Amino acid sequence: MAKKESTFINMVIVLFLVTLIASASLGIIYSITKEPIEKAKVAIKIEAINKVVPAFNNVPLNESLSVKQDKDSLIIYPAKNDGVTVGTAIETFTNKGFGGKIKLMVGFLPDGTIKEISVLEHKETPGLGDKIENKKSDFSRQFVGENPEEFKLKVSKDGGDVDAITAATISSRAFCDAMQNAFNVYKSLDTENDSTTVKK
Amino acid sequence: MNQWKNFSKGFFKENAVFVLFLGMCPTLGVTTTAFNGLGMGLATTFVLVMSNIVVSLVKNQIPEKVRIPSFIVIIASFVTIVELTMQAYLPDLFKQLGIFIPLIVVNCLVLGRAEAFASKNSFLSSVLDGLGMGLGFAMALTILGTVREILGSGSVFGYKFIAGDGILVFVLAPGAFIALGYLIMLVNKINNKTA
Amino acid sequence: MEYILIIIAAVFVNNIVLNQFLGICPFIGVSGKVETAVGMTGAVAFVMVLATIVTYIIQSAVLEPFGITYMQTITFILVIASLVQLVEIILKKVSPALYQALGIFLPLITTNCAVLGVAILTIQKDYTLMEGAVFAIANAAGFGLALIIFAGIREQLELVNIPKPLKGVPIAFITAGLLALAFMGFAGIV
């Protein structure tokens, strides 16, 4: 069978048809995968929240608050048991990481102490900056149980209370920056009433 | 056409990575672990086989002058399908492979096979060519990934066998180049001996 | 100030070839001679910057408002393919000598992962159009830097005795690895 001739009209029709069929197929696949993709994203968030706050029976994702900062946002997830706040998970970030953005999920107890920290995303150097991860070193353990009102969230080089990771000062500083952002937002919550509005 | 030879050429004689030097970017970019290498290799194989199938079926309907853009659209569609499917069902792997998934569309291997083979051969030959070249590519990526993971992190497919870190440079950029260079040298030696 | 950081990061710290692993195919193929390396860089730079700007506009004016961001891969690569065709036509008319010298590598810019990669990265990093353009120019410069240094080294390697199994591509990659190692030294700047 001879190939179709390269006349102008043939070329236009074929290219148009190919693109049309392609777009249609993709549209279908997109609508099929839309929900699972959303579900996967939500599952990751819920897993992180579960790790950093005590047991709760509300749906933090439905009561979340967003605070804009630096072209992105910090997100507050209140965790409540029978309507009483047992903890607040804050999705925070910093752009000052060695490899770029670092995202953390920090859990605060109602008295302001840090319950737990989970690293969501980072691009720090393997073997050095990646020690901010829980399973790679105890760096993040020193924050647990501390209240940032007294525990200064800066590395000791900068006059704070945090022991930096050896040879990974930039990553350690960035981690503290993300923690400070989270704490600042936490303090601004109207906790006298409930953790669902930000103090003016 | 000897279909066995057609299928098996992609593994050694015409291996995409070690002999033809096609698809270098993902080869270096994602092989920090064996699992990532394997995942990327299989994703690319899917796109390669599907695009080979479609191209070999419509080859006579596409005018000569628009064949490259048409092939590109076909390939890009399958890449997007892989993207969406991975995002939905394998989100962790999706995050690991990152930007290299959409980059499958410019993997010289895929466009190369469509242009050099699928547009000139039968449906069956094209399927086998796609499978062979793709799996050969996957094999190469898995090997490189395994080497880099063993040397760089002291683990294989996630199973650590040493405490602490390995020779870190191998999970970083320089190590990728160096490891691949030595692997190609090895393959050269083997191919020369059996030539 | 932002722009200077973008430039330094793109050219040195996160060099597109030696750190991000994009643009390797022409890297191995064209870097044999410094002359061709320079010509290639020019062509890539032109396509990269234009492509980044056009794809940015399409993303913000068409893909996002209509909720069809899943069409990104297809539209972006079609834009790049068209731009390369355009460059080919223009070069043929304006500088036939350069067109001849670049030969097959010109259409190969379409499959240069660096071009598509930079276009996608600009969207991922949430840059403004201006920042994106600067980012593209800087990455093209970084690509050129790596390519030209490498061509210089390879020209010298031609004159040296290299063991047979290492000849050609293997020694090229190992050299690239050492170059990448050197570039890692820039990491402390930004």
What mean pLDDT comes out for the span B52-62? 89
Task: Give the highest mean pLDDT range of A71-85, B109-123, B126-140, C20-34.
Answer: B126-140
Structure-model confidence comparison of residues B12 and C135, the more confident one: C135
Question: What pLDDT was estimated at residue C53?
Answer: 94
Other beta carbons within 10 Å of C163: 9
Q: How confident is the model at residue B194 (pLDDT cuts 50, 70, 90)?
A: low
Task: Give the highest mean pLDDT range of A52-66, A151-165, A166-180, B131-145.
Answer: B131-145
DSSP A25-43: HHHHHHHHHHHHHHHHHHH
At residue A90, does pLDDT exceed 50?
Answer: yes
ipTM value: 0.81
At residue A192, does pLDDT exceed 50?
Answer: no
Question: What pLDDT was estimated at residue A70?
Answer: 78
Which of A4-8, B88-92, C138-142 has the least mean pLDDT? A4-8
B56–chain A Cβ distance below 8 A for any pair: no
Structure-model confidence comparison of residues B68 and A147, the more confident one: A147
Minimal CA separation from B189 to chain A, in Å: 33
Contact flag B188-C170 (C-beta cutoff 8 Å): yes
Minimal CA separation from B123 to chain C, in Å: 25
How confident is the model over C172-184, as pLDDT tens digits? Answer: 888 888 988 888 8
How confident is the model over B152-163, as pLDDT tens digits? Answer: 888 888 788 877
What mean pLDDT comes out for the span C34-55? 87
Contact flag C70-A26 (C-beta cutoff 8 Å): yes
Strand ranges, E, within chain B: 155-156, 159-160
Alpha carbon of A10 to those of A15, A22, A149, B74, B114: distances in Å?
Answer: 8, 18, 73, 18, 21
B63–chain A Cβ distance below 8 A for any pair: yes
- The answer to whether B18 touches B184, Cβ cutoff 8 Å, is yes
At residue A8, does pLDDT exceed 60?
Answer: yes
Contact flag C172-B175 (C-beta cutoff 8 Å): no
Question: What pLDDT was estimated at residue B140?
Answer: 93
Contact flag A23-C71 (C-beta cutoff 8 Å): yes
Residue A19 identity (one-letter amino acid): T
Question: What pLDDT was estimated at residue A190?
Answer: 63
At residue B145, does pLDDT exceed 80?
Answer: yes
C74 vs A contacts (CB less than 8 Å): 19, 22-23, 26
The alpha-carbon radius of gyration of chain B (Å, integer) is: 17
Q: Which of B79, B174, B189 lies closest to C180 in CB terms?
A: B174
Question: What pLDDT was estimated at residue A196?
Answer: 52
What mean pLDDT comes out for the span B62-84? 88
What mean pLDDT comes out for the span A60-72? 84
Question: What pLDDT was estimated at residue B64?
Answer: 79
pTM of the model: 0.82
Residue B122 identity (one-letter amino acid): S
A98 vs C contacts (CB less than 8 Å): 187
Which of A2-6, A28-32, A182-186, C47-51 has the least mean pLDDT? A2-6
At residue B187, does pLDDT exceed 60?
Answer: yes
Task: Report d(CA B132, CA B138) in Å as an integer.
Answer: 10
A6 vs B contacts (CB less than 8 Å): 63-66
Question: What pLDDT was estimated at residue B45?
Answer: 95
Q: How confident is the model at residue C51 (pLDDT cuts 50, 70, 90)?
A: very high
C176–chain B Cβ distance below 8 A for any pair: yes
- Considering chain B, what is the average pLDDT of its residues? 87
A8–chain B Cβ distance below 8 A for any pair: no
Q: Which of B25, B69, B174 lies closest to C113 in CB terms?
A: B25
A22–chain C Cβ distance below 8 A for any pair: yes
Task: Report d(CA A198, CA B14) in Å as an integer.
Answer: 63
| Interface with chain A: mutation pick from B33, B62, B92, B94, highest number of A CBs within 10 Å | B62
- The answer to whether B76 touches C73, Cβ cutoff 8 Å, is yes
Residues 6+ apart with CB under 8 A from C146: C15, C16, C17, C18, C27, C179, C183
Q: Which residues of A160-199 are buried (b: 16+ CB within 10 A; e: fewer)?
A: bbbebbeebbbbbbbbbbbbbbbbbbbeebebeeebeeee
Residues 6+ apart with CB under 8 A from B113: B48, B51, B52, B129, B130, B133
Alpha carbon of A74 to those of A9, A61, A118: distances in Å?
Answer: 54, 13, 15
C185–chain B Cβ distance below 8 A for any pair: no
Q: Any bridge partners for residue A85, and if so which? A: A80
B192 vs C contacts (CB less than 8 Å): 164-165
| Interface with chain A: mutation pick from C5, C14, C71, C123, highest number of A CBs within 10 Å | C71
At residue A198, does pLDDT exceed 80?
Answer: no
Residues 6+ apart with CB under 8 A from A119: A102, A103, A104, A132, A133, A134, A140
Q: Which of C74, C63, B39 minimizes the C-alpha distance to A25?
A: C74
Contact flag A71-C126 (C-beta cutoff 8 Å): yes
Minimal CA separation from B77 to chain A, in Å: 6
Question: What pLDDT was estimated at residue A1?
Answer: 42
Contact flag B106-C110 (C-beta cutoff 8 Å): yes
Structure-model confidence comparison of residues A167 and B124, the more confident one: B124
Contacts 24+ apart (CB under 8 A), C145-148: C145/C11, C145/C15, C146/C15, C146/C16, C146/C17, C146/C18, C146/C27, C146/C179, C146/C183, C147/C17, C147/C26, C147/C27, C147/C30, C147/C31, C147/C37, C147/C40, C147/C41, C148/C34, C148/C37, C148/C38, C148/C41
Other beta carbons within 10 Å of C173: 27
How confident is the model over C114-152, as pLDDT tens digits? Answer: 899 899 888 887 788 998 999 999 999 999 998 888 888
* Portion of chain C with pLDDT greater than 70, in percent: 94
- The answer to whether B95 touches A120, Cβ cutoff 8 Å, is no
Residue B89 identity (one-letter amino acid): Y
Minimal CA separation from A93 to chain C, in Å: 15
Structure-model confidence comparison of residues C72 and C190, the more confident one: C72
At residue B136, does pLDDT exceed 80?
Answer: yes
The C-alpha angle A103, A107, A108, rounded to 5 degrees, equals 130
Which of B34-43, B81-90, B108-117 has the least mean pLDDT? B108-117
Question: What pLDDT was estimated at residue B54?
Answer: 92
| Interface with chain B: mutation pick from C113, C149, C183, highest number of B CBs within 10 Å | C113
Q: Which of C71, C126, C187 lies closest to A26 in CB terms?
A: C71
Q: Which of B65, B152, B172 lies closest to A6 in CB terms?
A: B65
Q: Which residues of B129-167 are buried (b: 16+ CB within 10 A; e: fewer)?
A: bbbbbbbbbbbbbbbbbbbbbbbbbbbeeeeeeeeebbe
How confident is the model over A109-132, as pLDDT tens digits? Answer: 988 899 999 998 887 877 778 888
Minimal CA separation from A8 to chain B, in Å: 9
Chain C partners (3+ C-beta pairs within 8 A): A, B
Q: Which of C54, C92, C96 minimizes the C-alpha distance to C75?
A: C54
Contact flag A14-B61 (C-beta cutoff 8 Å): yes
What mean pLDDT comes out for the span B7-11? 88
Task: Report d(CA B44, CA B106) in Å as an integer.
Answer: 11
Contact flag C23-B79 (C-beta cutoff 8 Å): no
Pairing of strands B155-156, A84-97: unpaired
The one-character DSSP state at C144 is: H
Q: Is A83 exposed, middle or buried (0-12, 13-18, 19+ CB in 10 A)?
A: exposed
What mean pLDDT comes out for the span B11-35? 86
At residue C76, does pLDDT exceed 60?
Answer: yes
Task: Report d(CA C154, CA C175) in Å as an integer.
Answer: 9
Question: What pLDDT was estimated at residue C4?
Answer: 86
Contact flag C74-A30 (C-beta cutoff 8 Å): no
